[in-house]
Amino acid sequence: MLPQFDPILAWPWVLLAAGISLFLIATTYRSRIAHLPRGSRITLLTLRIFTWGVITWLMIRPSIEISETDHQDSVLFVAVDQSRSMSVADGSGGATRRAAAVKLVNDARADLEKLGKDLKVEYLDFDKEVTAVTELSPESPGEQTALGHILDEIPKLGQGKKVVGLILVTDGAQRALPPYDTDPRAAATRLAEQQIRVDPVGVGSTGLSDSVADLSIEDLDVSPSVFVKNTVVVRCRVRALGAANQELTVRLLLEDKSGVVAGNPGVMRPVGVPRKIKPVQNQEILALDDLTFVAQEPGEFKLSVEVLPLEGEPLTANNSQTTFLQVLSGGVNVAYFEAEFRDEHRFLRRIDESPDIQLDFKPIRKGKLGAKTRIELDWFKPGAYDVYIIGSVPASLFGPEALKQLAESVRQGAGLLMIGGSHSFGPGGYADTPIADSLPVVMRRTERQNGDDVDPTLHHLANLQMLPTQAGLSHFVMRLDAPPKNKAVWESLPALRNANRFLNLKDGAVVLGDARDEAGRKIPLLIAQEFGRSRTMAFAADSTWRWYLGGHHDVHQRFWQQVVLWLAHKDTQGDEAVWAKLDLRRLRSGQPVNLTFGARDADKRPIDDAAFTIEITDPEGKKHPVTPQRSGTENLARFFETRMPGDYRVHVSAKKNGEPIGLGTELRFLVYDQDLELHNPAADFALLEDIARITGGATVAPHELPAHIKKLSRLGLNAEVTRITRILLWDQWPLFLVCVLLWSVEWYIRKRRGLV
């Protein structure tokens, strides 16, 4: 029981106030009652001093604290990892990590049992789940190490007892799949809030022994879709352990479907040139970014990267990684030339995200730096590209030979588009070039731009709202939505900023989009024409980026994709009526896969009321129906039955009003048999250090465990509950009655003596 004080002001001020008031009572109040009889004087002075004492008591606000301590039954858990990574024999004398951990705990049992009479020690086995045990087995069958999940489970195992700590014996590497992949550091933070300390004991090696070789392919990276006859670039990392100064061979394998019955996997055959690498250290990661081959045929193919195993390598399942590659036929290759400082190219180039279009951006430097821009004549040879887009680039920067080659490519069927700018069309000096005949607008040599300042006689300097013309409303390029909504979509787009003035249009040219000036006159903006075997366009504006920044991302992309497809004669070659996409084409066993799918009509507009049927065939040929779901404007499905390694086939079909939409679509994904625990079995002591730091525990080396247990014994782990009761001595009703009594009696006496 301890006295406590909580004065209303700082102590010096309280003492000063009490002293001054007592001095005034002793001096002024005594003279005030000096004429009264002695008995009355003593009584009043005594009452006034008692009142002073009560007020001073209230100012210092005294209280007393009474503390009581109760001992509560508590529990300390000792959890030992039993996942398969604990079967790695990197311990002393060739012992497995699990065997070393079990021996360590068994040797420490006697010391653990002496930690306290009110403390119970319980033993746990864990992998992705936790199990209470009395005896620890040397077996380690667990498929996952879910450290975060286990830490979250610990408080639930106390069964009414206070959990005071956890001794965690493990190699420290979290290897878990959903729903067991809880972040260990976040789980440790939750334990710290409950005052549960974790003392990790790390077992195992952070790298395999020098005498054990292990090669693995990691981080396989390849574009999921490429164009036929194009070079495929594959990137990966080779993790080489125990292979110092040994020559390793890395090669690509591509599925060969020739002679294979439809629906069956093909034979994996080497492609490209194998790479030879030689690690110089015993533990090394080598990055490869130059594995290449040329895609010869369209279709979907399985692609693998493999590092050939070394003699005696114990684990070879991780020597390769496999994914799927979609080789597209009929893709459009686009060359886009633009001044590198222009805004339009940063958004127009996004059409390269379409699997049907591959855009090569060629930035052009102007002025004095123009000579540094390297123009390759091979870019303009017939067959090099399907479509050419030229922005605000003076004709002089290309040179006559390049433009002559370009004109020949256009005559042989390549599409050509020139977009607006101060150095486009006539102002850019194209009136006297070989491509002047190809473009749908008339240009003259007198239109030349002088300097970089925009000439108002050659350009419309205003905001121009482009809308489809009557001919444009039904044209493929201008079709942004269904016919009843198409015009409204165009009207909702932000206005374009400025545009080139065209002197005249050529015979056969069609205006697809125009705007109106302040006087209501038509300003042609987008003009198209059929030019022999090719198609060409002139677009007077160069600010469609305003659409993108205005929130019309899809419209911007759709417009430019349709421009390119029309120029390449691909407007009649639509995509499949039913399409599907997988979020992953390569999954671990047990990992769910997400599917997005849809259907579209002949004009590539989405069919929102289609009814879908989804069927997934596993490697054994068993068919699994999957229920489609609708989320907003998307059709989604999720498949969980991926335990069996191998190839899975997805078939999506659709109907509208009971009638099939197209032929449906098929695609594949791969579930690989990678041992989550043994793919990279190195221990991770850094994670254990973080867990200990967060929870206020300590990392313990195996040989230090006995000393650490003695330290815990000195600290005392028994849970104590301390209850503190505080009694306020100034905020009580008896004190209130005393105040009332003192003031009343004094007032009565003063009233009787004529002092009131």
pLDDT digit string, tens, across residues 280-309: 988 888 999 889 998 888 788 999 999 999
Tell me, yes or no, whether 181 and 229 share the same domain: no
Q: How many residues does the chain have?
A: 756
**What does the pLDDT read at residue 358?**
84
Q: Verify that 166 and 221 share a domain, yes or no.
A: no
Alpha-carbon gap, residue 444 to 501, rounded angstroms? 12
Residue 148 is predicted with a pLDDT of 94
pLDDT over 90 (residue 271):
yes
| Residue 652 domain-assigned (yes or no) | yes
CATH number at residue 164: 3.40.50.410
Residues 62, 729 contacting (CB under 8 angstroms): yes
Question: What does the alpha-carbon distance between residue 510 and residue 477 come to, in Å, rounded to a whole number?
Answer: 12
Domain identity same for 102 and 179: yes
The mean of the pLDDT values for the chain is: 87
| C-alpha pair distances (Å), 615 with each of 263, 453, 606, 621, 650 | 14, 61, 22, 11, 6
pLDDT, position 575: 52
CA distance 41 to 33: 6
Residues of the chain with pLDDT > 90, as a percent, come to 44
Q: Above 50 in pLDDT, residue 32? A: yes
Cross-strand partners of 285? 239
645 pLDDT band (50/70/90 cuts)? confident
CA–CA distance from 597 to each of 125, 327, 410, 640, 662 (Å)? 44, 20, 37, 17, 14
Assign 260 a pLDDT band (cuts: 50, 70, 90): low
Q: Sorting pLDDT into bands at 50, 70 and 90, what band is 635? A: very high
Mean pLDDT throughout 448-461?
A: 85
**507 & 361 share domain:** yes
Residue 643: φ, ψ to 5°? -70, -35
Which of these, 313, 308, 235, lies nearest to 270 by C-alpha position?
Answer: 308
Mean pLDDT (whole number) for 137-142: 88
> Does residue 66 carry a pLDDT above 80?
no
Query: Cα-atom radius of gyration of the chain, to the nearest Å?
Result: 42
Domain identity same for 452 and 563:
yes
Q: Which domain CATH number covers 506?
A: 3.40.50.880
Mean pLDDT of 139-164: 90
- Give the pLDDT band of residue 369 (cuts 50, 70, 90): very low
Q: 708: pLDDT confidence band, cut at 50, 70 and 90? A: very high
Task: Supply 394's token pair.
Answer: 């003076």
- pLDDT band at residue 315 under the 50/70/90 scheme: confident
Distance CA 269, CA 535 (A): 41
Identify the top-confidence range among 34-48, 423-437, 718-732: 423-437
Q: What's CA 54's distance to the chain center, in Å?
A: 67
For the chain, what is the domain count?
A: 5
Of 318-322, 478-482, 676-680, the range with the lowest mean pLDDT is 676-680
Write down the pLDDT at residue 750.
Answer: 80
> Are residue 393 and residue 541 in the same domain, yes or no?
yes
Whether 680 is in a domain gets the answer no
pLDDT tens by residue, 579-601: 888 888 888 888 899 999 999 88
Asked whether residue 104 is domain-assigned, the answer is: yes
Give the pLDDT mean for 366-374: 56
H runs (alpha helix) in 131-170? 147-153
Q: What is the DSSP letter of 597?
A: E
376 and 240 assigned to the same domain: no
Burial (CB < 10 A; 0-12, 13-18, 19+), residue 562, is: buried
Instruction: Classify residue 572: in a domain, yes or no.
Output: no
In a domain, 678, yes or no: no
Residue 139, pLDDT > 80, answer yes
- With bands split at pLDDT 50, 70 and 90, how would you rate the model's confidence at 154? very high
Residue 724 domain flag: no
pLDDT greater at residue 45 or residue 152 = 152
Same domain, 517 and 547: yes
Those residues whose C-beta lies under 8 Å from the C-beta of residue 739, and which sit 6 or more positions away, are: 51, 54
Does position 246 have pLDDT exceeding 80, yes or no?
yes
Residue 602 predicted with pLDDT over 90: no
Question: Distance between CA 630 and CA 628 in Å, rounded?
Answer: 7
Answer yes or no: do 243 and 105 share one domain.
Answer: no
Residues 6 or more apart in contact with residue 368 via CB below 8 angstroms: none
Q: What percent of the chain has pLDDT over 70?
A: 93
Domain limits for position 586: 578-672
Residue 688 near residue 202 (C-beta atoms within 8 A): yes
**CATH number, domain at 590?**
2.60.40.1930
**Residue 687: which residues within 8 A CB-CB, separation 6 or more?**
147, 172, 173, 174, 184, 185
Q: How far is CA 118 from the centre of its chain?
A: 47
- pLDDT of residue 552 exceeding 60, the answer is yes
Say if CB 310 and CB 336 are below 8 A apart.
Answer: no
Residues 362 and 441 in one domain: yes
Please check whether residues 347 and 283 belong to one and the same domain: no
> Quick one: tokens of 238?
């080779």
Strands 665-672 and 586-588, by their bridges, are parallel
The last residue of a domain, from among 519, 542, 567: 567
Distances (CA, A) of 726 to 5, 257, 723: 11, 84, 10
Distance CA(73)–CA(755), nearest Å, equals 69
Q: Is residue 164 part of a domain?
A: yes
158, 122: one domain: yes
Tell me if residue 36 falls in helix, strand or coil. Answer: coil
Q: Give helix 685-695 / helix 184-193 axis angle, nearest 10°.
A: 20
The three-point CA angle 134-139-142 to 5° equals 100
Q: Which of 522, 547, 567 is the last residue of a domain?
A: 567
Q: Residue 573: inside a domain, yes or no?
A: no
| Residue 132 host element (H or E) | strand 130-133
Whether pLDDT at 720 is above 60: no
Q: Could you tell me the end-to-end alpha-carbon distance of the chain, in angstroms, rounded to an integer? A: 45
